[in-house]
Every structure is written in structure tokens, then in C-alpha cells.
DNA sequence: CTGAAAGCGCTAACAC
DNA sequence: GTGTTAGCGCTTTCAG
């Protein structure tokens, strides 16, 4: 168990150089002769020496560790996003430490611990609780990246998908298909993105709503995600004069809505109504849902996040990035029937 | 930016004690008067002092960091498992560092870096590549926990679900429903669990197979997961005398199979055939699949993993745990039609 | 380009 | 119970 680690001193002795020289061999920019470096690295490899990052961190006061906080992996978009984040960070030589934020108290503790590890940065994904958390880090001088989250924090980097364009697109599709009775489905305890999508949807339709040509209901479900959509369908589809076009805050909400509609109320989609989601999850492309949706690309978000982290120390001002979205037409929107 | 960190020395000075005393206040077991501890902690809180774990790690030679390697978050069971792992570890005061192992070269590098961070342990989930990885850690004296993976590593802790009981259960269900023409669907590049499930399924049916009462085909798909199931259905259901009972290595394979059957071949389930999965994913319970399956509970696996980690240093021998499974009867198995 | 010396912030022996 | 001393493994001035 105590198999004494090989240290830079060992390598130094073996190579007949000083510890400083060994140290310099393992950093990018150092005035050191190629020859020496080569020899030292070779010897290091032979004896299996690896720099002790812990010791290095202590003196450089920074690490390759990055905190990623999310409220679990329950939300399917969080899954694809975090997946992308992990691989992107890994490619940059950074290591993500995952924090679950579904339990706020637990999070508080973990966050403190993170700070103790001198994380290079902390990424907070949508859905995770109070931005007071972010503030804590800002005050600790740890750069914060907020993903699809409100921008109350002036000093945080912001990456947001283009909810406005997304919702405008959705509105356009519904109008072109002749839908005049619409609803936006979201949960009461919505994320920032969800709220914004609803607002922009309404905004895109404001003229038609004022003129009375379009009716828009903002539906707030008690629970979030799939179950929320399920609940909404059960309530909304009871009456015969229900909306014909449903715009859901997320694909996951749409799935719940569709499942309830099909399996509980015997509805057909898109014959009985049209529905549009947001995210474009892998599941949305499957035949079972085949959902028309607004795609926000996790890769783009991850890349933008990487950019934020890379510019740490270079840029003084935090970055704000808007990620483009794209309409993915599939099989859940049809022309409204003339009644 | 350089806002000098508050160190134990600062707290010591303020409290009028030595640095050792401060240090002792932040560890569980230390002969120190309650009074002193209370005062020190109070002062520490006031000035916002937090132990620098990096420095502590350097001397104690261990950290709260745990490596979790998986091949991405593509496999849906990996998602629920890792989710559970994260919350469990977090409750133990440990911090999971996630490594993506889908790219083997990349992984190699990351693994080395992990070692440099003195991780307390490393958890390797099913699906991740070569167990040479595990061996590396064992040689570095870092305890390894293998989840649903082969047990080539003598010195690694093993947590496996009870594939034998699971497959025996599946065989029993099919036989009781009168199915005699069966198939097991798995991918060519199967995980350890997948292979085992196939073997035990065959074993459970061996008597009937020998006597000619039952026919069992072992199907190996080119691709894995959902797409593999899809591919298998397309091939297998073409002929009219196709098997009537399909046992899939995972729920995800079953989903692909069902989708292809329903949406490409117009089949009805369970009218046209019966199907059983393995895992019991959240999706399996939804009306859209309503899949009869063998449940392995991620919570149980996470708990067993936690036990392994907790016994590090106490137990000299690695642990081997088998996690019980349970049949979840839903709507995808029916009595075979008499023809 | 390389080495010597000084310390990062902490804990672990060892005294008292 | 508490303080003193030493040192974890590394990087970083500062000389040369």
C-alpha cells in the first residue's frame, strides 16, 4: 500500500539535474534545452513518474477540475448536454466533477467542498436551484458559466439558446397550418428557458391575439417534465373545443402529452391535434414520437461553454453567447381541419 | 483576483491558538476541547475560512475524489445508474469525476491524470472498454470497483446484478406462456452482462432444447442498443415462422425491436409476438412500451458500490456483490396462439 | 539555460 | 489538550 511514489526528486537524481529542471520539463513554456527535456521525459517515462497535480495545484493555485452542477440526470436534455460537456471538457484536459443539485441542502455542502478543490470554473446547468449558488462562486473568484439560465449574475458567463427564434418559428408553423386555437404547456416551477419560450411564443402571436384571430392559453402544470405533459393532456383534451396546436416547453413535456393523448384518450396525432416540442432529443426522432420540434444542439452549447472557460483569465468581462436553434419538421403538425 | 486566501494560520492568529489546533478542529476524531473547537469554528466561519483540500490531500495522500468511467451517457441504463451513483457518492461526501471512455485513447490520458489527483477509488461501469484500464489502477494501488463487468481482475471489487436469476425468470415466463420458438437478441460487441444473460437463458432452457421441445436462436446484431434491436426485428420478423418469444439483452434493445416491429412491419405486441427486456428503464413503464422486463435496481448497485468504497482500507480482500433482480410483468408477454 | 532556496497550506509526530 | 517542528511534492523567484 505504501509503495512510495516516484517524485520529481527521483527523476532529477536519475537524470542528473535539479528538481526545478524536471519541473520545467513538464510545463509548456519554459526556457529549457530540447535535449535536456527529451532526456528527462524519457527517464520519467521509464520510472513511471507523473507530476503530482495536487502538489502543483497548491502552488499554482489552480486545477484541471471543473464543477458541473445539474439537478440530476432526470431531465433528458440535461443528459445529452452533460454528456457533451463531459467529452468536450475531457478533450480540453479538464475533469468534470458532477454535483447533483436536486437537494438544495446537500448542494450547499458540496459546493463549499468544490471551492476547496480550487476548481478552475463551475458550470451551472438549467434547472439547478437558486442562482445564489452562482453568486457564491463569483464571490470566491471562481468563474461561473450559466447554461440556459437567467442572467441575474452580472459577473457570470452566459450561454443561452435562442428561445426567441425558436418560439417565433413554432408560432409561424402553427399559423401557416391554420391553427388559431393554441396553448403553451409548461410547468409551474419552470426553468428560465421554459418561461422565456412561453413569453416569446405569446409575443410572436401578439398581433393575432389582439385582433382576436388567435387564442393562446398559457398552461401551467403542477409537475414538471413528462408527467406535466401527461397531466396537461388529460385536462385539456377533455373538452371538444380544445386547442388544436400545442407548443411544449420541452420535448419531454410533449412526450407526456402525446402518451396521455394516445393511450388514455385514444387520440391520433397529428389528426386530432398538432404539437411542437423544444430540444430535439434522440427520442423525438424515433417513429414512436416523430415529434416536430425546435432543436438546440448540445454540441454547440458545450463548445460555447468551452470557449468561456478558455477565455478565463484572458477576458476580463464575462461572455454572453446565444446558441442558434433550428426547426426540425417531423410528423406532429398538420393543417387544421376546416370545421 | 489575488484576494489572498484565508489560511489556517489566519484563523489560528485570530483565535489565539496554533495552526495544529485549527487543523484538529476540522477533523472528526481529535483530542481537542469542545470549547476550543467551538470558538475556532466560529471564527473560521466569520472570516470565511475553509480547509484547503488540496493541501490536505498532499499530506494525507488521499482525497474525496472518485473517478467514474463510463462510455458516455448514450446507454439509458448508464444514465440511471450514474445518476444514482452521483447522489450516493455525494451523500458520502465524495465527489465523482466523470470520465468518458468511448474514445479509448482519450481515456488513457484522462486516466493518468486521475491518478495524479489521488482519487480515492475508481468506478468502472459496464460498457467501458478494456479491463486493462482497471489493471492500471490496481497497479497504482487505487481501489477499483467494477460494475456489471467481467471479473478478470482479482484485486477489483465486483458488483454484478443477478443475470442468472433474471434469465431463468425470463425463460420461465416464456415457457409458461407456451412459447417454444425463442430468440435472444444481443449485439456482437456485447457487454459482459449481455453475454451472461444469453448464456443463462440458454442454460435455463437446455433441457427443453435438447429434447427438441424448444428452439432458441442466439441473435447477434451488428450495432448495439436501440439500433441493434431495430435491425434484429427487421431481419427476424420477415418470415412467417419467426420466433414468438424474444428476450433482449437490455430494455433499450427491446425498444428498438418493438419500434421496428410496430412502425416498419405493422406488427402488434403482444398479439404477434412476446418480448422481455432487462433493466427496467423509466421508459419501459410508459404506455408506449409497457415492457415486461427484469429489473435491476440502480439504487442497489449504487449502495453496493458505496459499501465497497467504504470498506477500502478496512477490508484487505475485494468485495463481490450480487444484486438481486425482479421480474416486472407488464404488457408484452401473452400466451402463444395455438396454430 | 539551469540550480539553490523558499515556500504553497496543511497535517503528523513528538513533546509538554 | 495544545504547541512545536518538520515536511508532503511541487513551482518559482533569483542568481549565475
DSSP structure string for A39-93: HHHHHHHHHT----HHHHHHHH---SEEEEEESTT-SHHHHHHHHHHHHHHHHTT
Q: Which fold has domain A163-297?
A: Rossmann fold (3.40.50)
By three-state DSSP, how is residue A297 classified?
coil
Cα–Cα distance measured from residue B36 to residue A95, given in angstroms and rounded to the nearest whole number: 38
**What pLDDT is stored for residue A2 in this prediction?**
38
Do B321 and B308 touch, CB atoms closer than 8 A? yes
Nucleotides of D under 7 A from a protein CB: 1-13
Averaged pLDDT for residues A173-184: 98
> Any idea which of A36-45, A106-115, B81-90 has the lowest mean pLDDT?
A106-115
Q: Compute the nearest-CA separation of B182 from chain A (Å).
A: 25
> Any idea which of A118-127, A179-188, B18-27 has the lowest mean pLDDT?
A118-127
Q: Which of A319, A313, A309, A306 is nearest to A61 (CA)?
A: A313
**What pLDDT is stored for residue B1 in this prediction?**
34
Q: How confident is the model at residue A206 (pLDDT cuts 50, 70, 90)?
A: very high
CB of residue B39 closer than 7 A to nucleic acid strand D?
no
Residue A170 CB coordination number (10 Å): 29
What order do you get walking across the sheet with B292-296 strand by strand?
Answer: B215-221, B181-187, B245-248, B274-279, B292-296, B325-328
Q: Which of A251, A260, A252 is nearest to A232 (CA)?
A: A260
**What pLDDT is stored for residue B150 in this prediction?**
77
- Report the percent of chain A where pLDDT is more than 70: 97
Query: pLDDT truncated to tens, each residue of chain B (339 aa)?
Result: 335 678 999 999 999 999 999 999 998 877 889 899 999 999 999 898 889 988 999 898 888 999 999 988 999 999 999 999 999 999 998 999 999 988 777 777 777 788 888 899 999 997 766 667 777 777 777 889 999 987 677 888 999 999 999 999 999 999 999 999 999 999 998 899 999 999 999 999 999 999 999 999 999 999 999 999 999 999 999 999 999 999 999 999 999 999 999 999 999 999 999 999 999 999 999 999 999 999 999 999 999 999 999 988 787 788 999 999 999 999 999 998 765
Averaged pLDDT for residues A119-136: 78
Angle at alpha carbon of residue B278, lines to B101 and A261, rounded to 5°? 100
List, for residues A42-95, the tens digit of each pLDDT value: 999 999 888 898 899 999 888 899 999 998 899 999 999 999 999 999 999 899
Do A81 and A295 touch, CB atoms closer than 8 A? no
Cα–Cα distance measured from residue A99 to residue A136, given in angstroms and rounded to the nearest whole number: 15
List, for residues A298-319, the tens digit of each pLDDT value: 999 999 999 999 988 787 788 9
CB of residue A60 closer than 7 A to nucleic acid strand D?
yes
**What pLDDT is stored for residue B110 in this prediction?**
77
Is pLDDT above 80 for A123? yes
Is pLDDT above 80 for A339? no
Residue A244 grid cell: 388544436
**What pLDDT is stored for residue B48 in this prediction?**
86
Separation of CA A97 from chain center:
15
Cα–Cα distance measured from residue B258 to residue B186, given in angstroms and rounded to the nearest whole number: 14
- Residues lining strand C at under 7 Å (Cβ) are A 16-21, 24, 30-37, 55, 58-59; B 4-5, 7-9, 19-20, 22-23, 26-27, 49, 51-52, 55-56, 58-60
- Across the interface, whether the CB atoms of A83 and B90 are under 8 A apart is answered no
> Any idea which of A104-118, A190-204, B128-142, B209-223 has the lowest mean pLDDT?
B128-142
Please give the mean pLDDT across all residues of chain A. Answer: 91
Angle at alpha carbon of residue A320, lines to A317 and A326, rounded to 5°? 165
Any bridge partners for residue B326, and if so which? B295
- Across the interface, whether the CB atoms of A79 and B73 are under 8 A apart is answered yes
- Report domain extents, chain B: 8-51, 60-161+298-323, 163-297
- Across the interface, whether the CB atoms of A99 and B98 are under 8 A apart is answered no
Do B215 and B181 touch, CB atoms closer than 8 A? yes
> Any idea which of A223-237, A278-292, A306-320, B265-279 has the lowest mean pLDDT?
A306-320
Chain B residues within 8 A of A263 when measuring between CB atoms: 287-288
CATH superfamily of B8-51: lambda repressor-like DNA-binding domains (1.10.260.40)
Domain A60-161+298-323 matches domain A163-297 at the CATH topology level: yes
With a CB-CB cutoff of 8 Å, which residues 11-70 of chain B face chain A?
50-55, 57-58, 63-65
Q: What is the 3-state secondary structure (H, E, C) of chain B?
A: CCCCCCCHHHHHHHHCCCHHHHHHHCCCCCCCCHHHHHHHHHHHHHHCCCCCHHHHHHHHCCCCEEEEEECCCCCHHHHHHHHHHHHHHHHCCCEEEEEECCCHHHHHHHHHHHHHCCCCEEEECCCCCCCHHHHHHHHCCCCEEEECCCCCCCCCEEEEECHHHHHHHHHHHHHHCCCCEEEEEEECCCCHHHHHHHHHHHHHCHHHHHCCCCEEEEEEECCCHHHHHHHHHHHHCCCCCCCCEEEECCHHHHHHHHHHHHHHCCCCCCCCCEEEEEECCHHHHCCCCCCEEEEECHHHHHHHHHHHHHCECCECCCCEEEECEEEECCCCCCCCCCC
B308 touches A at CB < 8 Å: no
Q: Which fold has domain A60-161+298-323?
A: Rossmann fold (3.40.50)
**What pLDDT is stored for residue A180 in this prediction?**
97
**What pLDDT is stored for residue B270 in this prediction?**
97
Do B198 and B218 touch, CB atoms closer than 8 A? yes
- Across the interface, whether the CB atoms of B82 and A73 are under 8 A apart is answered yes
Amino acid at each position: 500500500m505504501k509503495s512510495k511514489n516516484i517524485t520529481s526528486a527521483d527523476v532529477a537524481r536519475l537524470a542528473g539535474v535539479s528538481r526545478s529542471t524536471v519541473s520545467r520539463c513538464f510545463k509548456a513554456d519554459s526556457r529549457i534545452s530540447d535535449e535536456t527535456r527529451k532526456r528527462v521525459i524519457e527517464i520519467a517515462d521509464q520510472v513511471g513518474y507523473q507530476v503530482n497535480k495536487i502538489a502543483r495545484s497548491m502552488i499554482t493555485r489552480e486545477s484541471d477540475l471543473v464543477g458541473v452542477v445539474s439537478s440530476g440526470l432526470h431531465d433528458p436534455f440535461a443528459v445529452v448536454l452533460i454528456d457533451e460537456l463531459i467529452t468536450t471538457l475531457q478533450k480540453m484536459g479538464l475533469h468534470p466533477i458532477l454535483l447533483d443539485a436536486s437537494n438544495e441542502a446537500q448542494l450547499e455542502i458540496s459546493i463549499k467542498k468544490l471551492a476547496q478543490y480550487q476548481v478552475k470554473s463551475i458550470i451551472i446547468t438549467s434547472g439547478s436551484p437558486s442562482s445564489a449558488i452562482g453568486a457564491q462562486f463569483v464571490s470566491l473568484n471562481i468563474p461561473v458559466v450559466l447554461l440556459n439560465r437567467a442572467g441575474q449574475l452580472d459577473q457570470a458567463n452566459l450561454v443561452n439558446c435562442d428561445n426567441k427564434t425558436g418560439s417565433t418559428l413554432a408560432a409561424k408553423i402553427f399559423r401557416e397550418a391554420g391553427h388559431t386555437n393554441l396553448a403553451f404547456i409548461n410547468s409551474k416551477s419552470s426553468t428560465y428557458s421554459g418561461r422565456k419560450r412561453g413569453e416569446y411564443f405569446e409575443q410572436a402571436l401578439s398581433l393575432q391575439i389582439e385582433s382576436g384571430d388567435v387564442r393562446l392559453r398559457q398552461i401551467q402544470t403542477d409537475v414538471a417534465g413528462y408527467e406535466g405533459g401527461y397531466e396537461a393532456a388529460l385536462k385539456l383534451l377533455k373538452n371538444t373545443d380544445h386547442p388544436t396546436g400545442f407548443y411544449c416547453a420541452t420535448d419531454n413535456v410533449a412526450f407526456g402529452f402525446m402518451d396521455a393523448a394516445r393511450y388514455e384518450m385514444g387520440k391520433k396525432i397529428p389528426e386530432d391535434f398538432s404539437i411542437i416540442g423544444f430540444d430535439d432529443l434522440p427520442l423525438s426522432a424515433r417513429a414512436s414520437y416523430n415529434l416536430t420540434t425546435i432543436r438546440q444542439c448540445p454540441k454547440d452549447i458545450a463548445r460555447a461553454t468551452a470557449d468561456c472557460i478558455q477565455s478565463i483569465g484572458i477576458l476580463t468581462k464575462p461572455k454572453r453567447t446565444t446558441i442558434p436553434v433550428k426547426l426540425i419538421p417531423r410528423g406532429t403538425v398538420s393543417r387544421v381541419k376546416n370545421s
